[in-house]
């Protein structure tokens, strides 16, 4: 893990940096600054950033509705992958889910994203099913994963 890593809530001034990171990291998805602002306005949506010396190197976006959470997106700058940044963001999400009494976390991941699948398996997510051709640019299947939180 990187010593200078800080996880904090997304601030409005950091939105452009998160949009740039999303464009760099999230294949086939277009996440605009306005979409991020909208997501921040919902009380059930949570966005955290990973910072190293004030540079945003990752983010996580998740929602909690009733007792179910859904991981919308997680992204880490290519320069900081495999340095436990994603793990720190996942830890933050899980703590937030426990605090808000979520019982499950669900997500969907591209079948080809082996690194992300490995991360999720390490955090106790189980493969629940496959959604055929759910992704575009390129067309690809999505693996549905779920984790039960024991409070």
Residues 6+ apart with CB under 8 A from 35: none
Q: pLDDT per position in the chain (151 positions), as tens?
A: 577 999 999 999 999 999 999 999 987 778 899 999 999 999 999 999 999 998 999 999 999 999 999 999 999 999 999 999 999 999 999 999 999 999 999 999 999 999 999 999 999 999 999 999 988 888 899 999 999 997 6
Q: Could you give the CA distance from residue 78 to residue 24 in angstroms, rounded to a whole number?
A: 9
Residue 71's DSSP bridge partners are: 62
For residue 142, what are the CA distances in angstroms to 67, 133, 134, 136? Answer: 23, 7, 6, 10
pLDDT at 2: 75
Residue in 22, 40, 51, 148 with CA at minimum distance from that of residue 94? 148
- The strand ranges marked E within 2-150 are 5-9, 45-52, 55-65, 68-76, 104-110, 126-135, 140-148
Q: Could you give the CA distance from residue 143 to residue 133 in angstroms, rounded to a whole number?
A: 10
Q: Could you give the CA distance from residue 10 to residue 61 in angstroms, rounded to a whole number?
A: 10
Global pTM reads 0.93
pLDDT at 1: 57
pLDDT at 29: 76
């Amino acid at each position: 893990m990187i010593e200078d890593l800080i996880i904090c809530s997304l601030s409005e001034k950091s939105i452009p940096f998160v949009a740039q990171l999303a464009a760099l990291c999230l294949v086939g998805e277009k996440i605009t600054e306005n979409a991020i602002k909208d997501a921040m306005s919902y009380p059930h949506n949570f966005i955290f950033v990973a910072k190293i010396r004030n540079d945003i190197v990752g983010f996580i976006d998740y929602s909690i509705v009733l007792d179910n959470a859904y991981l919308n997106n997680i992204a880490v700058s290519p320069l900081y992958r495999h340095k436990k940044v994603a793990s720190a963001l996942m830890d933050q999400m899980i703590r937030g889910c426990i605090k808000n009494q979520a019982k499950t976390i669900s997500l969907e991941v591209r079948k080809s994203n082996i690194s992300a699948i490995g991360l999720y398996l390490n955090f106790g997510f189980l493969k629940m099913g496959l959604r055929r051709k759910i992704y575009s640019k390129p067309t690809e299947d999505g693996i549905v994963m779920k984790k039960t939180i024991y409070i």
